[in-house]
A = this chain, B = another copy of it.
Amino acid sequence: MKAALLHQFDESLNGPDWLSYEDVSDPIMEEPTDVIVRIGGAGVCGTDLKLIEGLWCDHMRIELPIILGHENAGWVEEIGVAVESVQVGDPVILHPTVSGDLQGSGATGSHHFRKRGFYPGFNRNGGFAEYMLAEESMLLKLPSHLSPMDTAPLADAGLTAYNVARRASKHLIPGHYTLVIGAGGLGHLCIQILRALSSTEIIVVDKSETALDLARSVGAHYTFIADEHYTEKILALTGGKGVETVIDFVGKDSSVNKGLFVTRRGGHYYLVGYGGRLTISTLELIRSEKTIVGVLGGTFSDLKELLTMVDRGLVTLTTREYSLSNANKALRDLKDRRNKGRTVLIP
């Protein structure tokens, strides 16, 4: 099959061609609950750039070459003998890993997983390819009128945005403000989910006017360019108090510092993006009684609930599609923030 492979890390992200588009052998089923999926679309994520940089190597054993792509949807091509919940030909979206238990609680039931530590697109071959090896428990059947290429970004960008918006909606009450930092692939979905699950007023900051256009078109109440002065504008808007909730999809030093600064006393700062450091004096943290939450992905239930919302028209994806052979251009355009919404590769 055709696939886009990463053969070596590029710490400085200078290289023009990070992935190599080539022929590789098809994936092979190993377990009775395995499934081969024919990829319909694979989302391109900031994390793919971070993987190329080698940033995840401290946290996970990654053997090269590897096929990236952790945000996948497609059609069932072949199933193991024990698979019962899907049939060959079914359109499916793939949860990023085999467990619904991403939250680390270890307390959600009688899961007996055969493939622990299996993270396609991180430490196993992912979806920047024609076919991918998956496990039955990762698969969620798509409603017939939703296509894999249009829904792939729900598998990670949507999942994470839903997880964080759902959690925030539990403590957001009418009168509360939420600041969304970054209106890209995740941000433009999070805005819509927040609107559907709460009545919070949504402020969006981004460096790009195009992104702010998208933010406004999907329901942001206030938008500000991410310059030096946006924190003052937010304090002015909120009577000097700051916002109840910040959702930071950027995670660089400056977004973290500014985001924490405008979080009001007793408020919540959710960190989703990464790359920088979070630093705060302990006196400042206890005095302001803030809560800081690291968020990664979401559960299988989150994916089901999000799909229900998309199915009902409460959330609409904005995507730009590239052919798989153009993976490097897609990654470069993502790095340069040239596109609105999410980038998707089509094999």
A residues in contact (CB < 8 Å) with B: 32-33, 50, 55-56, 59, 82, 84-85, 95, 99-105, 107-112, 114, 136-138, 140, 170, 173-175, 196-199, 201, 251-252, 256, 264-267, 271-283, 285-296, 299-301, 304-306, 308-309, 312, 314
Set of chain B residues within 8 Å of A291, measured between Cβ atoms: 291-294
Q: Is the CB of B282 within 8 A of A280?
A: no
Number of copies: 4
Of B174, B274, B312, the contact of A283 (CB 8 Å cutoff): B274
Known: A271-B285, A274-B285. 15 other contacts (CB 8 A): A56-B283, A84-B112, A104-B264, A104-B288, A105-B266, A108-B108, A109-B300, A174-B314, A175-B305, A271-B282, A276-B281, A278-B281, A285-B292, A286-B294, A287-B296
Q: List 20 A-B contacts (CB under 8 A).
A: A99-B109, A101-B109, A104-B266, A104-B288, A107-B304, A110-B111, A110-B300, A112-B136, A170-B170, A174-B196, A196-B199, A197-B199, A274-B283, A274-B285, A277-B280, A277-B282, A286-B296, A291-B291, A292-B292, A292-B293
Residue with the highest number of chain B CB atoms closer than 10 Å, among A173, A175, A291, A294: A294
Query: Which 5 pairs across A and B sit closest by C-beta, in order of nearness?
Result: A104-B266, A100-B109, A104-B265, A285-B294, A274-B282
For A111, give the chain B residue with the smallest CB separation.
B109
> Whole-angstrom distance from the CB of A286 to the nearest CB of chain B?
4
Q: Is the CB of B199 within 8 A of A309?
A: yes
Determine the distance from Cα of A308 to Cα of B287 in the docked complex, in whole angstroms: 27
For A276, give the chain B residue with the smallest CB separation.
B282
Determine the distance from Cα of A293 to Cα of B282 in the docked complex, in whole angstroms: 11
> Whole-angstrom distance from the CB of A54 to the nearest CB of chain B?
12
Q: Is the interface of A mostly helix, strand, loop or mixed?
A: loop
Set of chain B residues within 8 Å of A283, measured between Cβ atoms: 50, 55-56, 59, 274-275
Residue with the highest number of chain B CB atoms closer than 10 Å, among A136, A267, A305: A305
For A251, give the chain B residue with the smallest CB separation.
B282
Q: Is the CB of A32 within 8 A of B286?
A: no
Residue with the highest number of chain B CB atoms closer than 10 Å, among A55, A112, A282, A296: A282
Determine the distance from Cα of A287 to Cα of B50 in the docked complex, in whole angstroms: 13
Q: With A100-B108, A103-B266 given, is the CB distance from A84 to B114 under 8 Å? A: yes
Set of chain B residues within 8 Å of A251, measured between Cβ atoms: 282, 286
Set of chain B residues within 8 Å of A82, measured between Cβ atoms: 32-33, 82
Q: Is the CB of B305 within 8 A of A296?
A: no
Q: With A109-B109, A170-B170 given, is the CB distance from A295 to B305 under 8 Å? A: no
Q: Is the CB of A285 within 8 A of B278?
A: yes
